[in-house]
Amino acid sequence: MESVRIGIVGLGGMGSHHASYLLKGEVPHAKLTAVCDVAPDRLAWAKEHLGEGVAAYESADALFAAKVVDAIVIATPHYFHPPIAVQAFGHGLHVLTEKPAGVYTRQVREMNEAAARSGKAFGIMFNQRTVPVYQKLKELMDSGELGTMKRSVWIITNWYRAQSYYDSGGWRATWAGEGGGVLINQCPHNLDLWQWICGMPRRLRAFVAFGKHHDIEVEDDATAYVEYPNGATGLFVTTTGEAPGTNRLEIAGDHGKLVLEGNSLTFWRTRTPVSRHIREYKGGFGEPECWKCEIPVRQGGGSHAEVTRKWVENILKGTPLTVHGAEGINSLQISNAMLLSAWTDAWVDLPVDEGLFYEKLQERVRASAAKKAGGKTMSVEGTFGT
Protein backbone atom coordinates (compact mmCIF):
# COMPACT_ATOMS: atom_id res chain seq x y z
CA MET A 1 0.00 0.00 0.00
CA GLU A 2 1.50 3.34 -1.09
CA SER A 3 -1.31 5.56 0.18
CA VAL A 4 -4.27 5.31 2.52
CA ARG A 5 -7.85 5.97 1.42
CA ILE A 6 -9.56 7.73 4.32
CA GLY A 7 -13.22 8.15 5.16
CA ILE A 8 -14.64 10.53 7.77
CA VAL A 9 -17.65 9.49 9.81
CA GLY A 10 -19.41 12.61 11.09
CA LEU A 11 -19.17 16.06 9.49
CA GLY A 12 -19.76 18.39 12.39
CA GLY A 13 -17.16 20.91 13.53
CA MET A 14 -14.35 18.38 14.01
CA GLY A 15 -15.22 16.18 11.03
CA SER A 16 -15.19 19.11 8.63
CA HIS A 17 -11.88 20.28 10.16
CA HIS A 18 -10.30 16.87 9.46
CA ALA A 19 -11.66 16.97 5.92
CA SER A 20 -10.13 20.40 5.38
CA TYR A 21 -6.53 19.51 6.20
CA LEU A 22 -6.76 16.19 4.36
CA LEU A 23 -7.93 17.95 1.21
CA LYS A 24 -5.10 20.47 1.56
CA GLY A 25 -2.59 17.62 1.45
CA GLU A 26 -1.28 18.20 4.97
CA VAL A 27 -1.08 14.43 5.53
CA PRO A 28 1.28 12.79 3.01
CA HIS A 29 0.19 9.49 1.46
CA ALA A 30 -3.40 10.02 2.59
CA LYS A 31 -6.41 10.66 0.35
CA LEU A 32 -9.87 11.64 1.52
CA THR A 33 -12.17 9.44 -0.56
CA ALA A 34 -15.45 9.34 1.38
CA VAL A 35 -17.48 10.97 4.13
CA CYS A 36 -20.78 10.20 5.79
CA ASP A 37 -23.29 11.93 8.03
CA VAL A 38 -26.93 11.37 8.95
CA ALA A 39 -27.76 15.09 8.57
CA PRO A 40 -28.91 16.06 5.05
CA ASP A 41 -27.53 19.61 5.37
CA ARG A 42 -24.07 18.32 6.15
CA LEU A 43 -24.17 15.92 3.23
CA ALA A 44 -25.20 18.82 1.00
CA TRP A 45 -22.24 20.80 2.33
CA ALA A 46 -19.92 17.88 1.60
CA LYS A 47 -21.11 17.53 -1.98
CA GLU A 48 -20.66 21.25 -2.55
CA HIS A 49 -17.28 21.77 -0.87
CA LEU A 50 -15.35 18.50 -0.95
CA GLY A 51 -15.27 17.90 -4.68
CA GLU A 52 -16.29 15.04 -6.97
CA GLY A 53 -13.46 12.82 -5.76
CA VAL A 54 -15.03 12.48 -2.31
CA ALA A 55 -18.10 10.25 -2.11
CA ALA A 56 -20.80 11.21 0.40
CA TYR A 57 -22.96 8.63 2.18
CA GLU A 58 -25.98 8.86 4.47
CA SER A 59 -24.67 6.37 7.02
CA ALA A 60 -21.59 4.55 8.21
CA ASP A 61 -23.20 1.32 6.98
CA ALA A 62 -23.38 2.70 3.46
CA LEU A 63 -19.79 3.92 3.60
CA PHE A 64 -18.52 0.52 4.79
CA ALA A 65 -20.55 -1.31 2.15
CA ALA A 66 -19.05 0.82 -0.63
CA LYS A 67 -15.53 -0.49 0.13
CA VAL A 68 -13.90 2.77 -0.95
CA VAL A 69 -11.74 3.37 2.15
CA ASP A 70 -8.90 1.66 3.99
CA ALA A 71 -9.33 3.64 7.19
CA ILE A 72 -11.76 5.95 8.94
CA VAL A 73 -11.65 8.99 11.21
CA ILE A 74 -14.55 9.01 13.67
CA ALA A 75 -15.90 12.48 14.52
CA THR A 76 -19.44 11.71 15.66
CA PRO A 77 -21.11 12.50 18.99
CA HIS A 78 -19.40 10.72 21.88
CA TYR A 79 -21.70 7.73 22.30
CA PHE A 80 -21.08 6.56 18.74
CA HIS A 81 -17.27 6.41 18.86
CA PRO A 82 -16.99 2.81 20.18
CA PRO A 83 -19.77 1.13 18.15
CA ILE A 84 -18.60 2.67 14.88
CA ALA A 85 -15.01 1.71 15.66
CA VAL A 86 -16.04 -1.88 16.41
CA GLN A 87 -17.97 -2.00 13.14
CA ALA A 88 -15.00 -0.60 11.22
CA PHE A 89 -12.61 -3.15 12.70
CA GLY A 90 -15.06 -5.83 11.62
CA HIS A 91 -14.73 -4.55 8.06
CA GLY A 92 -10.95 -4.71 8.26
CA LEU A 93 -10.44 -0.95 8.49
CA HIS A 94 -7.93 1.10 10.46
CA VAL A 95 -9.45 3.58 12.94
CA LEU A 96 -8.59 7.01 14.32
CA THR A 97 -11.23 8.21 16.77
CA GLU A 98 -11.85 11.65 18.17
CA LYS A 99 -11.73 12.12 21.93
CA PRO A 100 -13.24 11.08 24.22
CA ALA A 101 -12.88 7.35 23.59
CA GLY A 102 -16.52 6.99 24.60
CA VAL A 103 -18.92 7.87 27.38
CA TYR A 104 -18.59 4.84 29.67
CA THR A 105 -15.74 2.43 30.20
CA ARG A 106 -17.67 -0.73 29.35
CA GLN A 107 -18.21 0.30 25.73
CA VAL A 108 -14.61 1.52 25.44
CA ARG A 109 -13.23 -1.75 26.82
CA GLU A 110 -15.26 -3.60 24.16
CA MET A 111 -13.85 -1.27 21.49
CA ASN A 112 -10.30 -1.90 22.70
CA GLU A 113 -10.85 -5.66 22.59
CA ALA A 114 -12.18 -5.42 19.03
CA ALA A 115 -9.15 -3.35 18.03
CA ALA A 116 -6.77 -5.93 19.50
CA ARG A 117 -8.49 -8.76 17.65
CA SER A 118 -8.38 -6.87 14.35
CA GLY A 119 -4.66 -6.09 14.35
CA LYS A 120 -5.45 -2.77 12.62
CA ALA A 121 -3.94 0.63 13.40
CA PHE A 122 -5.96 2.22 16.21
CA GLY A 123 -5.31 5.81 17.25
CA ILE A 124 -7.09 8.46 19.32
CA MET A 125 -6.97 12.22 18.75
CA PHE A 126 -5.17 13.27 21.91
CA ASN A 127 -3.28 15.92 19.96
CA GLN A 128 -2.31 17.84 23.10
CA ARG A 129 0.33 15.20 23.77
CA THR A 130 2.24 16.72 20.84
CA VAL A 131 2.48 20.14 22.55
CA PRO A 132 6.16 20.66 23.49
CA VAL A 133 5.55 21.98 27.01
CA TYR A 134 3.60 18.84 27.97
CA GLN A 135 6.23 16.64 26.36
CA LYS A 136 8.95 18.40 28.36
CA LEU A 137 6.98 18.00 31.57
CA LYS A 138 6.51 14.29 30.84
CA GLU A 139 10.23 13.97 30.09
CA LEU A 140 11.17 15.59 33.42
CA MET A 141 8.81 13.36 35.37
CA ASP A 142 10.04 10.18 33.66
CA SER A 143 13.68 11.15 34.17
CA GLY A 144 13.35 11.15 37.95
CA GLU A 145 14.59 14.74 38.25
CA LEU A 146 11.63 15.64 40.47
CA GLY A 147 12.05 12.56 42.64
CA THR A 148 9.06 10.75 44.11
CA MET A 149 5.82 12.65 43.42
CA LYS A 150 4.07 13.95 46.53
CA ARG A 151 1.18 15.94 45.09
CA SER A 152 -0.32 17.11 41.80
CA VAL A 153 -2.80 19.98 41.44
CA TRP A 154 -4.40 21.00 38.16
CA ILE A 155 -6.67 24.04 38.16
CA ILE A 156 -8.16 24.16 34.68
CA THR A 157 -10.98 26.68 34.72
CA ASN A 158 -10.43 28.46 31.40
CA TRP A 159 -13.23 26.52 29.71
CA TYR A 160 -15.78 29.35 30.05
CA ARG A 161 -18.97 28.82 28.02
CA ALA A 162 -22.01 31.10 27.76
CA GLN A 163 -25.53 29.69 27.78
CA SER A 164 -25.75 30.25 24.01
CA TYR A 165 -23.07 27.59 23.52
CA TYR A 166 -25.26 24.98 25.19
CA ASP A 167 -28.37 26.21 23.38
CA SER A 168 -26.71 25.70 19.97
CA GLY A 169 -27.81 22.06 19.73
CA GLY A 170 -30.50 19.97 21.38
CA TRP A 171 -27.98 17.21 22.09
CA ARG A 172 -25.54 19.49 23.88
CA ALA A 173 -25.09 19.24 27.66
CA THR A 174 -27.50 16.32 28.01
CA TRP A 175 -27.01 12.81 29.35
CA ALA A 176 -28.65 11.30 26.28
CA GLY A 177 -26.80 13.49 23.79
CA GLU A 178 -23.25 14.01 25.08
CA GLY A 179 -23.16 11.75 28.11
CA GLY A 180 -21.90 14.50 30.39
CA GLY A 181 -20.60 18.04 30.54
CA VAL A 182 -17.24 19.64 31.28
CA LEU A 183 -15.55 16.33 32.19
CA ILE A 184 -16.52 14.48 29.01
CA ASN A 185 -16.57 17.42 26.60
CA GLN A 186 -13.92 19.98 27.58
CA CYS A 187 -11.54 18.02 29.84
CA PRO A 188 -10.65 14.71 28.12
CA HIS A 189 -7.33 16.23 26.97
CA ASN A 190 -6.49 17.47 30.47
CA LEU A 191 -7.42 14.20 32.14
CA ASP A 192 -5.39 12.29 29.56
CA LEU A 193 -2.36 14.53 30.08
CA TRP A 194 -2.74 14.35 33.86
CA GLN A 195 -2.64 10.55 33.95
CA TRP A 196 0.04 10.41 31.21
CA ILE A 197 2.35 12.68 33.21
CA CYS A 198 1.48 11.76 36.82
CA GLY A 199 0.10 8.23 36.51
CA MET A 200 -3.31 6.77 37.30
CA PRO A 201 -4.81 7.34 40.76
CA ARG A 202 -6.00 4.36 42.76
CA ARG A 203 -9.11 6.03 44.19
CA LEU A 204 -10.84 9.41 44.34
CA ARG A 205 -13.55 11.47 45.97
CA ALA A 206 -15.28 14.06 43.80
CA PHE A 207 -17.70 16.91 44.35
CA VAL A 208 -19.59 17.72 41.16
CA ALA A 209 -22.27 20.33 40.49
CA PHE A 210 -24.84 19.79 37.75
CA GLY A 211 -26.20 22.91 36.08
CA LYS A 212 -24.60 25.15 38.69
CA HIS A 213 -23.78 28.00 36.30
CA HIS A 214 -25.95 27.16 33.28
CA ASP A 215 -29.41 25.88 32.45
CA ILE A 216 -28.17 22.35 31.66
CA GLU A 217 -28.65 18.88 33.14
CA VAL A 218 -25.00 17.79 33.16
CA GLU A 219 -21.95 18.86 35.18
CA ASP A 220 -20.42 22.31 34.71
CA ASP A 221 -18.28 22.39 37.87
CA ALA A 222 -16.13 19.63 39.39
CA THR A 223 -13.48 19.22 42.07
CA ALA A 224 -11.82 15.86 42.70
CA TYR A 225 -9.32 14.69 45.30
CA VAL A 226 -7.30 11.65 44.23
CA GLU A 227 -4.85 9.26 45.89
CA TYR A 228 -2.03 7.56 43.97
CA PRO A 229 -0.60 4.08 44.61
CA ASN A 230 2.58 5.52 46.19
CA GLY A 231 0.61 7.60 48.71
CA ALA A 232 0.81 10.86 46.76
CA THR A 233 -2.35 12.95 46.46
CA GLY A 234 -3.83 15.12 43.75
CA LEU A 235 -6.50 17.69 43.06
CA PHE A 236 -8.34 18.45 39.82
CA VAL A 237 -10.55 21.54 39.57
CA THR A 238 -12.55 22.52 36.49
CA THR A 239 -15.61 24.48 35.39
CA THR A 240 -17.21 26.17 32.38
CA GLY A 241 -18.71 28.93 34.51
CA GLU A 242 -15.73 30.95 35.65
CA ALA A 243 -14.00 33.93 34.02
CA PRO A 244 -11.21 34.76 33.79
CA GLY A 245 -10.06 31.20 34.03
CA THR A 246 -6.82 29.58 35.15
CA ASN A 247 -4.71 26.82 33.62
CA ARG A 248 -2.05 25.84 36.16
CA LEU A 249 -0.55 22.42 36.80
CA GLU A 250 1.72 22.07 39.83
CA ILE A 251 3.53 18.85 40.71
CA ALA A 252 5.43 18.59 43.99
CA GLY A 253 8.11 15.95 44.48
CA ASP A 254 10.98 15.04 46.75
CA HIS A 255 13.33 17.31 44.75
CA GLY A 256 11.10 20.40 44.54
CA LYS A 257 8.19 21.24 42.31
CA LEU A 258 7.29 21.74 38.66
CA VAL A 259 4.86 24.51 37.73
CA LEU A 260 3.25 24.73 34.32
CA GLU A 261 1.16 27.81 33.59
CA GLY A 262 0.35 28.86 30.07
CA ASN A 263 3.37 27.88 28.01
CA SER A 264 5.81 28.54 30.85
CA LEU A 265 7.45 25.66 32.72
CA THR A 266 9.40 26.33 35.94
CA PHE A 267 11.36 23.80 37.98
CA TRP A 268 11.90 24.81 41.62
CA ARG A 269 14.77 22.38 42.37
CA THR A 270 15.81 21.68 45.95
CA ARG A 271 19.50 21.04 46.40
CA THR A 272 18.73 18.44 49.08
CA PRO A 273 15.83 15.98 48.79
CA VAL A 274 12.96 17.13 51.00
CA SER A 275 12.66 13.71 52.67
CA ARG A 276 16.32 13.84 53.73
CA HIS A 277 16.15 17.47 54.86
CA ILE A 278 13.13 16.69 57.06
CA ARG A 279 15.08 13.95 58.83
CA GLU A 280 18.50 15.57 59.09
CA TYR A 281 18.06 19.36 59.41
CA LYS A 282 18.58 20.60 62.98
CA GLY A 283 17.68 24.27 62.57
CA GLY A 284 13.92 24.00 63.08
CA PHE A 285 12.43 26.48 60.59
CA GLY A 286 14.88 26.20 57.68
CA GLU A 287 14.06 24.87 54.23
CA PRO A 288 16.32 23.15 51.68
CA GLU A 289 18.25 25.46 49.38
CA CYS A 290 16.16 25.88 46.21
CA TRP A 291 17.07 26.89 42.66
CA LYS A 292 14.53 28.41 40.29
CA CYS A 293 15.06 26.95 36.80
CA GLU A 294 13.12 28.28 33.82
CA ILE A 295 12.85 25.33 31.46
CA PRO A 296 13.22 26.29 27.78
CA VAL A 297 10.36 24.95 25.68
CA ARG A 298 9.94 25.23 21.92
CA GLN A 299 6.69 26.52 20.46
CA GLY A 300 4.20 24.74 18.23
CA GLY A 301 2.57 21.34 18.42
CA GLY A 302 -1.04 20.41 19.06
CA SER A 303 -1.95 19.90 15.41
CA HIS A 304 -4.68 17.40 14.59
CA ALA A 305 -2.98 16.83 11.24
CA GLU A 306 0.20 15.77 13.07
CA VAL A 307 -1.68 12.98 14.89
CA THR A 308 -3.27 11.89 11.62
CA ARG A 309 0.14 11.85 9.91
CA LYS A 310 1.50 9.55 12.60
CA TRP A 311 -1.52 7.28 12.21
CA VAL A 312 -1.06 7.06 8.43
CA GLU A 313 2.66 6.36 8.88
CA ASN A 314 1.76 3.60 11.35
CA ILE A 315 -0.54 2.05 8.76
CA LEU A 316 2.07 2.22 6.00
CA LYS A 317 5.34 1.70 7.91
CA GLY A 318 4.50 0.44 11.37
CA THR A 319 6.02 3.51 13.06
CA PRO A 320 4.66 4.55 16.50
CA LEU A 321 1.30 6.26 16.91
CA THR A 322 1.03 9.53 18.81
CA VAL A 323 -1.37 7.80 21.20
CA HIS A 324 -2.64 4.25 20.85
CA GLY A 325 -6.43 4.18 20.93
CA ALA A 326 -6.46 1.70 23.80
CA GLU A 327 -5.10 4.44 26.09
CA GLY A 328 -8.31 6.42 25.71
CA ILE A 329 -9.93 4.41 28.49
CA ASN A 330 -7.58 5.89 31.10
CA SER A 331 -8.95 9.43 31.14
CA LEU A 332 -12.48 8.01 30.94
CA GLN A 333 -11.79 5.88 34.02
CA ILE A 334 -11.07 9.11 35.90
CA SER A 335 -14.08 11.09 34.65
CA ASN A 336 -16.45 8.13 35.15
CA ALA A 337 -15.11 7.74 38.69
CA MET A 338 -15.63 11.46 39.41
CA LEU A 339 -19.27 11.28 38.34
CA LEU A 340 -19.88 8.01 40.17
CA SER A 341 -18.37 9.47 43.34
CA ALA A 342 -20.73 12.44 43.12
CA TRP A 343 -23.75 10.25 42.37
CA THR A 344 -23.04 7.85 45.25
CA ASP A 345 -21.56 10.46 47.62
CA ALA A 346 -18.65 8.11 48.30
CA TRP A 347 -15.06 7.19 47.50
CA VAL A 348 -14.59 5.33 44.21
CA ASP A 349 -11.77 2.90 43.46
CA LEU A 350 -10.13 2.71 40.04
CA PRO A 351 -10.66 0.88 37.75
CA VAL A 352 -14.23 2.09 38.12
CA ASP A 353 -17.11 -0.36 38.61
CA GLU A 354 -18.28 -0.25 34.99
CA GLY A 355 -21.60 -2.00 35.70
CA LEU A 356 -22.58 0.40 38.47
CA PHE A 357 -21.53 3.45 36.45
CA TYR A 358 -23.56 2.27 33.45
CA GLU A 359 -26.61 1.71 35.67
CA LYS A 360 -26.38 5.20 37.18
CA LEU A 361 -25.78 6.78 33.78
CA GLN A 362 -28.80 5.07 32.25
CA GLU A 363 -31.02 6.42 35.03
CA ARG A 364 -30.05 9.90 33.87
CA VAL A 365 -30.30 9.09 30.18
CA ARG A 366 -33.89 7.93 30.65
CA ALA A 367 -34.76 11.24 32.33
CA SER A 368 -32.75 13.34 29.88
CA ALA A 369 -34.31 16.32 28.13
CA ALA A 370 -32.23 15.80 24.98
CA LYS A 371 -34.13 16.67 21.83
CA LYS A 372 -33.99 14.31 18.88
CA ALA A 373 -33.47 17.19 16.48
CA GLY A 374 -30.27 19.11 17.18
CA GLY A 375 -29.52 22.73 16.44
CA LYS A 376 -26.80 24.24 14.30
CA THR A 377 -23.20 23.14 14.56
CA MET A 378 -20.96 25.80 16.03
CA SER A 379 -17.42 26.34 14.80
CA VAL A 380 -14.81 24.69 17.01
CA GLU A 381 -11.93 26.80 15.74
CA GLY A 382 -10.03 28.28 18.65
CA THR A 383 -11.16 25.65 21.17
CA PHE A 384 -8.45 23.09 20.54
CA GLY A 385 -6.04 24.20 23.26
CA THR A 386 -6.11 23.19 26.88
pLDDT value, residue 170: 78
User: What domains appear along the chain, each with residue ranges and CATH number?
Assistant: 4-128+302-325 (3.40.50.720), 133-301+331-366 (3.30.360.10)
- For residue 184, give Cα distances in angstroms to 76, 187, 229, 230, 296: 14, 6, 25, 27, 32
Q: What is the mean pLDDT of residues 212-230?
A: 98
Q: Are 124 and 295 in contact (CB under 8 A)?
A: no
pLDDT value, residue 381: 41
pLDDT band at 374 (very low <50, low <70, confident <90, very high): very low
Nearest residue to 94 via CA among 110, 72, 75: 72
pLDDT value, residue 213: 98
Residue that wins the pLDDT comparison between 93 and 263: 93
- Beta strands 30-36; 55-57: pairing state: parallel
pLDDT value, residue 198: 98
Nearest residue to 14 via CA among 127, 114, 91: 127
- Beta strands 55-57; 256-261: pairing state: unpaired
Q: Which helix (H) or strand (E) holds 108?
A: helix 105-118
Q: What is the mean pLDDT of residues 187-211?
A: 98
Average pLDDT, the chain: 94
- pLDDT tens digit sequence for 257-278: 999 998 899 999 999 999 999 9
| Listed range (123-127, 194-198, 363-367, 379-383) with the worst mean pLDDT | 379-383
pLDDT band at 375 (very low <50, low <70, confident <90, very high): very low
Q: Residue 206 pLDDT more than 50?
A: yes
Q: Residue 383 pLDDT more than 70?
A: no
Q: How far apart are CA 14 and CA 185, in angstroms?
A: 13
Q: Residue 56 pLDDT more than 70?
A: yes
Residue that wins the pLDDT comparison between 373 and 106: 106
- pLDDT tens digit sequence for 136-150: 999 999 999 999 999
Q: What is the mean pLDDT of residues 362-385?
A: 59
Q: How far apart are CA 18 and CA 25, in angstroms?
A: 11
pLDDT value, residue 1: 80
pLDDT band at 64 (very low <50, low <70, confident <90, very high): very high
- pLDDT tens digit sequence for 21-44: 999 999 999 999 999 999 999 999
- pLDDT tens digit sequence for 332-341: 999 999 999 9
Query: Whole-prediction pTM value?
Result: 0.94
Q: What is the mean pLDDT of residues 226-230?
A: 98
Share of the chain above pLDDT 70, in %: 96
First to last CA, the chain: 36
Q: How far apart are CA 139 and CA 300, in angstroms?
A: 17
- pLDDT tens digit sequence for 291-323: 999 999 998 899 999 999 999 999 999 999 999
| Listed range (47-61, 160-174, 211-225, 241-255) with the worst mean pLDDT | 160-174
Q: What is the mean pLDDT of residues 191-200?
A: 98
Q: How far apart are CA 161 and CA 240, in angstroms?
A: 5
3-state secondary structure (DSSP) of residue 14: helix
- pLDDT tens digit sequence for 180-189: 999 999 999 9
Q: Residue 254 pLDDT more than 90?
A: yes
Q: Are 261 and 247 in contact (CB under 8 A)?
A: yes
Q: Residue 370 pLDDT more than 60?
A: yes
Q: Residue 373 pLDDT more than 80?
A: no
pLDDT value, residue 262: 86
